[in-house]
Amino acid sequence: MKPTLFLLAAGMGSRYGGLKQLDGLGPNGETIMDYSIYDAINAGFGKLVFVIRKDFEQDFREKIISKYEGHIPCELVFQALDALPEGFTCPADRTKPWGTNHAVMMGADVIKEPFAVINCDDFYGRDSFQVMGKYLAALPEGSKNVYSMVGFRVGNTLSESGTVSRGICSTDAKGLLTSVVERTKIQRLDGEVKYIDDNGEWTATPDTTPVSMNFWGFTPDYFAYSEEFFKTFLSDPKNMENLKSEFFIPLMVDKLINDGTATVEVLDTTSKWFGVTYPEDRQSVVDKIQALVDAGEYPAKLF
């Protein structure tokens, strides 16, 4: 069975101020998402599912979905503040979405096969889709509790314009994820990758240290665990009172690993991640994409 690609696009409208600013960075105005979808199709993914805001639907269908139809089946699901389990109501003053794992939960009715989750605005690179596609396609029918994550080498994910925030991963002898620790300030200093540790000191880490860039692989049982744990999350008064609290994917994954419920295999990739972390990064991203097109990695026109 071909895996599905689930794209987190619910934050797009707010972040870009509407679709017209979905930035064209490729030679023919291609977006970063266009490259991800092109790579996913070539890596054997069989369907796309986008999670968006409902008020965005018409615009999204006309400007985005229309491009991919004819290349791969597409579905839309919607993330809304009031999409909560029975017995819970959204605080009246809340305007912020409930986070990435809540967005993933919206796919439960349309995804019945192994699936990968990505951010729409990260350039992940061809090899990362190949390793994830291969892993998911090789899972025996009906597999449960065997998840995966593309572990980018930290040296391949830095910005030339300043520090970045990354989830630094620890693995066991079998290459299974044991923890993800968010480090908010990482950069290359004196030729070494360093981050600020808990004591406020710069600490070096090898270039090959795996980091999470929110590229996950799950089997459909993940939806039921998420539904249950989301109830626990919402039952905590702190999370209801804090109008910015979010139910993130790493929170759910961490719980399943610590409970011994699931394993997460960290898949190594040679892909170089890039994205527009700072406004100054934009030109660098345009140049990197152009270099990949010039090298024959991508056609000048994708769709």
Tokens encoding 225: 């665990």
**Nearest partner of 235 among 80, 95, 89, 99, judged by Cα:** 89
184 is a domain residue:
no
**How many domains are contained in the chain?**
1
Residue 213 CA to residue 131 CA, distance in Å, equals 15
Higher pLDDT, 282 or 219: 219
Structural domain that includes position 118: 2-147+209-245+266-293
Residue 27 CA to residue 293 CA, distance in Å, equals 8
Residue 88 CA to residue 104 CA, distance in Å, equals 19
Read off the CATH number of the domain in which 37 is found.
Answer: 3.90.550.10
What is the pTM for the complete model shown? 0.92
pLDDT of residue 19: 53
pLDDT tens digit string along 170-187?
999 999 999 988 888 999
Three-state SS at 102 = helix
pLDDT tens digit string along 188-215?
999 999 999 999 999 999 999 999 999 9
77 is a domain residue:
yes
165 is a domain residue:
no
215 CB contacts (<8 Å, ≥6 apart)? 116, 117, 118, 122, 124, 128, 132, 149, 150, 152
241 is a domain residue:
yes
pLDDT tens digit string along 127-175?
999 999 999 999 999 999 999 999 999 999 998 888 988 989 999 999 9
131 is a domain residue:
yes
190 is a domain residue:
no
Burial code of 72-86, b = ≥16 C-beta within 10 A, e = fewer? bebbbbbbeeebeee
